[in-house]
Structures are given as structure tokens and as C-alpha cells.
Amino acid sequence: MTAILLTKNVHLSYGKKEALHGIDLDFDEHGITALIGPSGCGKSTFLRCLNRMNDLIPRTTVTGTFNFKGQDIYAPTTNLVELRKQIGMVFQQPNPFPFSVYENVTYGLRLTGHKDRQFLDEQVERSLKQAAVWDEVKDDLNKSALSFSGGQQQRICIARLLAVQPDIILLDEPTSALDPISSAQIETTLLALKNEYTIIIVTHNLQQASRIADKTAFMLNGNLVEFDLTSKMFTQPEQQDTSDYLNGKFG
Ligand SMILES: Nc1ncnc2c1ncn2[C@@H]1O[C@H](COP(=O)(O)OP(=O)(O)OP(=O)(O)O)[C@@H](O)[C@H]1O
């Protein structure tokens, strides 16, 4: 497997408080990696480092190596709009724009100057199909994205990312606000996408990690404790802390 994203010795501080204490994690191209660990261990903080979303939080300092396809994510010359197209993010609460489904999915393409209606139509269909929500919205593309269910909105948000053909999709607890059926649909969608995209997901749901992730990283108190194939980690963890967490002794 080739790593598409390599991180080394990642430290992050919010003001004077260090939240990440030197994380090394490499992500294989394609496939799903889950980040797990108890509340406050730094999963979301680490995830946000990967497309520089923490830049938006004042007094945040990040150090370490972030190598994405040979490029330094934190180089002063990095174009953040371009970076976040290549490494897109899906949040806990579905956050479609208050526009139609069509306008949501074409947003990024129109921003980069695409106007050809046939091309946009094709991309809308491709993206919504890949996000497994096409059949549910195809007759209502001009309806507000906000008029759909939470699960459908989340898949529309995934389609909005897919329209600009990212390399990596970051997901921060994407199903925690959804009902079990919608969560299962998102999991199925992610499993279908993993052959084409590199997916990194923060989840509190250990069953979810075990169902969908090829690899899992277990974090604790701002440190990476263990990183391995999910099948190995969930059956034969190397570290006592991992075993205790997976067995519900804390969390
Ligand atoms: N914007 C912020 N300003 C200051 N401290 C923050 C900020 N965001 C997170 N923290 C702190 O950084 C640490 C890591 O938080 P983070 O949200 O990354 O953990 P997490 O593992 O994702 O938690 P959860 O599972 O509850 O979302 C925590 O101590 C948290 O209080």
C-alpha cells in the first residue's frame, strides 16, 4: 500500500495548552482509517490539522510534518481553497447550504469557473450516485437541500465533496446525529467509496469502526497509543490501554 498522507511528530496547542503531543500517522491511499479514543483525546483536533481547519481557531500552533502526495500541507504557499478541495471534510451535523440540491452539489465546480450545463448535470448525477442518494433526490434537484432528512442531507454533503473529486475525505463523527438506518446508509456509502477515495473518520462508535475501517488508530490524552489493522486491533491489541478501552473499562 502507498501512503498518500504522512504525518510525523504532530504537536498542536490551543493557546498554552498542548492538545496533541507528537502524533505519527500515515494513511494508505484508498481505504478507510478510523480514529477512536475517549472524549477529549484529540481525535477531532488531529483530523482538523489534515486540511488546516485549525487555522480558523485563534491562537492555535501546529508543528510537525504533514506530507500530502509529496507536498507540505503547511507550506506558506499552500492554497487553502485548493487544499480543502483535495482534502474535504464532512461534519457531525449535516451542513448543506440553504440552496437547492443542484446548487449545493455544483457549488465547488461553479466556484472554479465551470459553467457548462451538460458537464454540471453529469457531475451532479455522478456525485449523488456515488453518495448513494441519487434515487431519493433525482426528481427534486431544485428543492432546498434543507428540506431533506438528516441522513439525506449528510449524503448530499458527501456528494458536494465528491463533485470536486477530492483525494481524501475527512469525516468527524458523521453519523452521531443520525438515526440507525441513516447511519447504516452512510456506512454503506463509505464502504462503496473506499476503492476510489482515502477516507479518515473520527467515530465514537466502536462497532462502526470495526464494521468499516481497514485500519484504526487509538488515541488517548493527545497521544497515539496504537495503530493497526482494525481486525488485529480489535482482537489482539498490543497495548493494555487499547484493550481496556475496547472492553469498555473507560471511555
Ligand atoms: N477550540 C478549542 N480551544 C481550546 N481547546 C480546545 C479546542 N478544541 C478542542 N480543545 C481541547 O483539546 C482537547 C482535544 O479535543 P478534541 O475535540 O480534539 O477531542 P476529541 O477526541 O475529538 O473529543 P470528542 O470525542 O469529545 O469530540 C480537549 O482537551 C479539548 O478541550
At 42-55, the pLDDT tens digits run: 999 999 999 999 99
Within a domain: 112: no
Within a domain: 58: yes
Within a domain: 190: yes
Within a domain: 148: no
Q: In this predicted structure, what is the pLDDT of residue 124?
A: 98
The answer to whether 97 and 107 are in contact (CB under 8 A) is yes
Query: Mean pLDDT over residues 11-33, rounded?
Result: 97
Please state, as a whole number, how many other Cβ atoms lie within 10 Å of the Cβ of residue 128: 27
**Domain of residue 81, CATH code:** 3.40.50.300
Cα–Cα nearest to 228, from 34, 31, 23, 9: 34
41 lines ligand 1 (CB under 6 A): yes
Q: pLDDT digits over 168-191, tens only?
A: 999 999 999 889 998 999 999 999
Within a domain: 78: yes
For the chain, the average pLDDT equals 96
CA–CA separation, 199 vs 210, rounded Å? Answer: 15
pLDDT band at 73; cut points 50, 70, 90: very high
Within a domain: 145: no
Give the number of domains in the chain: 1
Would you say how long the chain is, in residues? 251
Q: How many CA atoms lie within 13 A of 98 on its CB side?
A: 0
The answer to whether 167 and 4 are in contact (CB under 8 A) is yes
Q: What is the CA radius of gyration of the chain?
A: 18
User: In the structure grid, which three cell numbers stand for residue 217, read together?
Assistant: 488508530
Query: Mean pLDDT over residues 237-244, rounded?
Result: 97
Within a domain: 201: yes
The yes/no answer to whether this complex scores an ipTM above 0.90 is yes
Residue 90 Cα to ligand 1 middle (Å): 17
Instruction: Report which ligand 1 atom has the smallest distance to the Cα of 57.
Output: 1
- Mutation pick for ligand 1 pocket among 10, 16, 44 (CB with most ligand atoms within 8 Å): 44
Question: Which amino acid appears at position 233 of this protein?
Answer: M
Q: In this predicted structure, what is the pLDDT of residue 115?
A: 92
Within a domain: 19: yes
Q: Which structural domain range is residue 169 located in? A: 3-92+165-246
Which residue, judged by its Cα, is nearest atom 29 of ligand 1?
A: 40
44 lines ligand 1 (CB under 6 A): yes
